[in-house]
């Protein structure tokens, strides 16, 4: 099932727009029946096919529903709608921290402290309930227009962590925010969330990430073995206290970090100064950032007088600050070029000529743009920015292609389910006679199985009407249920049933039929009439089993519907070419039909619900649903379009399926 504007999820959330595409999900804006705007996160198809991932996803999503905190995005509901796994959550009107940083650059230390403190409070609340986030990053920190900070995807990252490298082809998690223990594959706890928050705080204050590399593995190794760069060296406006908080949060060993989010929040508020132990001396820094198992070395700097060390640090800080301010003030401004619609190679060349650089922020599928074409940019064309500024762009992955499944010789319902599972949709339904494939099953499909087509492409199916002529089976002495099964195998249905009193026969058996057994008739065009035995005087009593009849009715039309001849391919013996069957008249797509459906309610409960469901080119719909008592007769004239299946249910039990 594809999700688009107007789709209803779980029967109550109407999709109004696509918000974003992520690595494992798509996010949509939706509206509830009460008119409330919410966000709905849909699990991507490749993950929905992984049973282990789905089980963990559902379990952790339900755990996230228990979280109620001002700085946590509230989960309203999670569940499954057909093949779709979804999470409905509150809609935050704003943008995520990553996009905000790309747009504004480094934050003022006061703003960075405020955001980090809000995240600490959310983590402290979740950790207290035993929930570790595992994927703290700017993309999961939402900034509302009123200034509120919200953390998203609590608990869901536990399910995401179940996906292996072989499944996704990438390192688990978001590698730029990966703690050393995550990089090693060791158990993850709340200290890992605080490490990631330290990386986020560094990025907020400097506008860059502490570790970069040519590959995810290279970045992960830096998290394992290299100390982070000084935030104050990158941005001299960073207070010494915040640099100490970053260094303590990013210690290589979990025991050297803040032990709780509450401890880190206390340092951010200035209530405590645990960060000072990191900057106290060189041995403290060496110990905090030595790889696990390495022993810190005592340097000569420890023996130097404290006053000299402070003097050197002060002079160095002043010099670095003057250099940074001077360099910033003297950088010329340039205009942001318009690169949307250009190939990535062309866009990078244009950006270099203008004095800016491009950064691929996201790659997304597009039904209209070829692969490697720029879809969007996060800075508007013509805006004046500092030379060397990074401009984030969204680059097309091209149309998303899927493989067409093989649905030949499957019933229509199973074929439609297979197509929707493959993220395709049912196209036109046509009909043809076939001497081998039974009525109601697929003869041919277009495109053929194995083709690569765009997501949501239609697949046309040709449905068998059975042989061009079939022999009427003998029905005498059989029950209505047995007779229906025999007739359905030949593409025939009972159009009329009457009751006759018979003294020497058990009630409910067929005693007359028309046409007679052995007659050659056309499926779908011949009305089968039967008479059923009843005890004398009980002709009007409710039948023991439901009686369902269907009779095609004429459809008024100014001109006869067009027909075309389509050869039905028959299987051929091995080693010989397939020969087309005798051409059979196939109604064109959209042929209107009208059928009279009659139901006689059987003996049983005093109240039984009768429901008539139609499946045709317009989709699936209920055309009649009402309670009835035994013996009641229900008559409905059903109008349909194209290939049609009419199903009759009594108390939600399918009792008859008719293909007129």
Report the candidate in 70, 98, 122 with the shortest Cα–Cα distance to residue 265.
122
User: Quick count: other Cβ atoms within 10 Å of Cβ 243?
Assistant: 22
User: Quick count: other Cβ atoms within 10 Å of Cβ 267?
Assistant: 22
Helix (H, G, I), strand (E, B) or coil at 117: helix
- Angle at which helices 261-269 and 190-206 pack, to 10 degrees? 30
DSSP code per residue over 135-166: ---GGGEEEETTS-EEE--TTHHHHHTTS-HH
* Rounded Cα gap, residues 358 and 344, in angstroms: 9
Please identify which residue in the block is written with the tokens 């810190």: 296
E strands, 309-356, are: 333-335
User: Quick count: other Cβ atoms within 10 Å of Cβ 379?
Assistant: 17
CB 313 within 8 A of CB 304: no
* Rounded Cα gap, residues 55 and 357, in angstroms: 42
> 518 Cβ partners below 8 Å, 6+ apart?
471, 472, 474
Which residues partner with 549 through β-bridges? 598
CA distance readout (Å), 344 to 159, 334, 348, 370, 657 = 34, 20, 6, 11, 55
* Rounded Cα gap, residues 399 and 440, in angstroms: 33
* Rounded Cα gap, residues 432 and 439, in angstroms: 9
Any idea what DSSP says for residue 83?
A: T
* Phi and psi angles of residue 213, each rounded to the nearest 5 degrees, phi first: -170, 170
- Kind plus residue range of the DSSP H or E element containing 78: strand 75-81
Active site residues: 135
Any idea what DSSP says for residue 185?
A: T
Which residues partner with 636 through β-bridges? 597
E strands, 22-57, are: 25-31, 37-43
> 298 Cβ partners below 8 Å, 6+ apart?
283
Long-range Cβ contacts of 414-420 (<8 Å, 24+ apart): 415/442, 415/445, 415/461, 419/459, 420/1, 420/82, 420/83
Which residues partner with 395 through β-bridges? 363, 374
Any idea what DSSP says for residue 615?
A: E
Q: Name the token pair of 254.
A: 């979990």
> 89 Cβ partners below 8 Å, 6+ apart?
38, 39, 40, 41, 73, 74, 75, 76, 152
CA distance readout (Å), 561 to 68, 113, 375, 566, 609 = 61, 73, 46, 16, 37
Report the candidate in 13, 1, 264 with the shortest Cα–Cα distance to residue 120.
264
595 CB-side CA count, 13 A: 33
Report the candidate in 496, 497, 500 with the shortest Cα–Cα distance to residue 539.
500
Report the candidate in 643, 629, 580 with the shortest Cα–Cα distance to residue 600.
629
User: Quick count: other Cβ atoms within 10 Å of Cβ 392?
Assistant: 18
């Amino acid at each position: 099932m594809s999700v688009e504007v107007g789709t209803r999820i779980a029967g109550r959330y109407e999709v109004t727009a696509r918000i974003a595409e992520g690595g494992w999900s798509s996010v949509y804006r939706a509206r509830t029946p009460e008119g409330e705007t919410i966000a709905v996160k849909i699990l991507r198809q490749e993950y929905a096919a992984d049973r282990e991932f789905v089980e963990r996803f559902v379990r952790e999503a339900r755990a996230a529903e228990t979280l109620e905190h001002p700085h946590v995005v509230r989960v309203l509901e999670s569940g499954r709608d057909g093949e779709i796994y979804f999470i409905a959550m509150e809609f935050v009107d704003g943008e995520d921290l990553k996009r905000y940083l790309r747009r504004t650059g480094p934050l003022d230390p006061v703003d960075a402290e405020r955001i980090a403190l809000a995240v600490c409070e959310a983590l402290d609340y979740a950790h207290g309930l035993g929930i570790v986030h595992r994927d703290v990053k700017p993309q999961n920190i939402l900034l509302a227009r009123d200034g509120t900070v919200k953390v998203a995807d609590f608990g869901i990252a536990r399910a995401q962590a179940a996906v292996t490298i072989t499944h996704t082809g990438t390192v688990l998690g978001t590698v730029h925010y990966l703690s050393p223990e995550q990089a090693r594959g060791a158990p993850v706890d709340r200290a890992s969330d605080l490490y990631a928050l330290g990386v986020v705080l560094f990025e907020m204050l400097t506008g860059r990430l502490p570790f970069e590399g040519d590959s995810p593995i290279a970045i992960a190794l830096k998290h394992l073995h290299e100390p982070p760069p000084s935030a104050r060296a990158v941005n001299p406006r960073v207070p010494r206290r915040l640099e100490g908080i970053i260094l303590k949060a990013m210690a290589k060993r979990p025991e050297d970090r803040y032990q709780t989010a509450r401890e880190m929040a206390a340092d951010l508020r200035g209530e405590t100064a645990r960060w000072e132990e990191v900057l106290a001396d060189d041995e403290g820094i060496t110990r905090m950032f030595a790889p696990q198992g390495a022993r810190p070395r005592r340097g000569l700097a420890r023996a130097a007088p404290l006053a000299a060390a402070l003097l050197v640090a002060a002079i160095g800080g002043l010099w670095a600050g003057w250099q940074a301010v001077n360099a910033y003030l003297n950088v010329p401004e340039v205009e942001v070029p318009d690169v949307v619609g250009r190939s990535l190679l062309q866009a990078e060349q244009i950006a270099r000529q203008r004095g800016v650089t491009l950064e691929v922020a996201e790659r997304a599928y597009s039904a209209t743009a070829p692969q490697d074409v720029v879809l969007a940019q996060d800075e508007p064309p013509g805006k004046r920015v500092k030379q060397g500024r990074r401009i984030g762009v969204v680059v097309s992955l091209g149309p998303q292609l899927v493989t067409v499944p093989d649905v030949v010789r499957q019933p229509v319902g199973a074929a439609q389910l297979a197509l929707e599972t493959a993220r395709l949709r049912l196209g036109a339904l046509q009909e043809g006679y076939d001497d081998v494939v039974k009525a109601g099953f697929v003869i041919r499909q277009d495109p053929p199985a194995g083709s690569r087509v765009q997501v949501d492409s239609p697949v046309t199916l040709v449905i068998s009407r059975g042989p061009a002529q079939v022999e009427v089976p003998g029905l005498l002495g059989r029950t209505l249920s047995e007779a229906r099964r025999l007739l359905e195998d030949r593409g025939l249905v009972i159009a009329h049933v009457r009751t006759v009193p018979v003294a020497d026969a058990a009630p409910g058996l067929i005693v007359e039929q028309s046409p007679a057994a052995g007659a050659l008739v056309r499926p779908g065009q011949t009305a089968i009439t039967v008479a059923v035995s009843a005890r004398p005087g009980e002709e009007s009593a409710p039948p023991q089993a439901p009686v369902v009849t269907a009779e095609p009715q004429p459809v008024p039309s100014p001109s006869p519907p067009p027909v075309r001849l389509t050869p039905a391919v028959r299987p051929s013996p091995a080693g010989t070419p397939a020969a087309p069957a005798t051409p059979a008249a196939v109604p064109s797509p959209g042929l209107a039909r009208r059928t009279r459906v009659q139901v006689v309610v059987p003996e049983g409960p005093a109240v039984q619900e009768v429901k008539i469901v139609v499946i045709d080119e317009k989709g699936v719909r209920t055309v009649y649903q009402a309670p009835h008592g035994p013996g009641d007769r229900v008559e409905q004239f059903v109008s349909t379009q194209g290939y049609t299946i009419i199903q009759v249910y009594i108390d939600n039990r399918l009792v008859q399926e008719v293909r007129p």
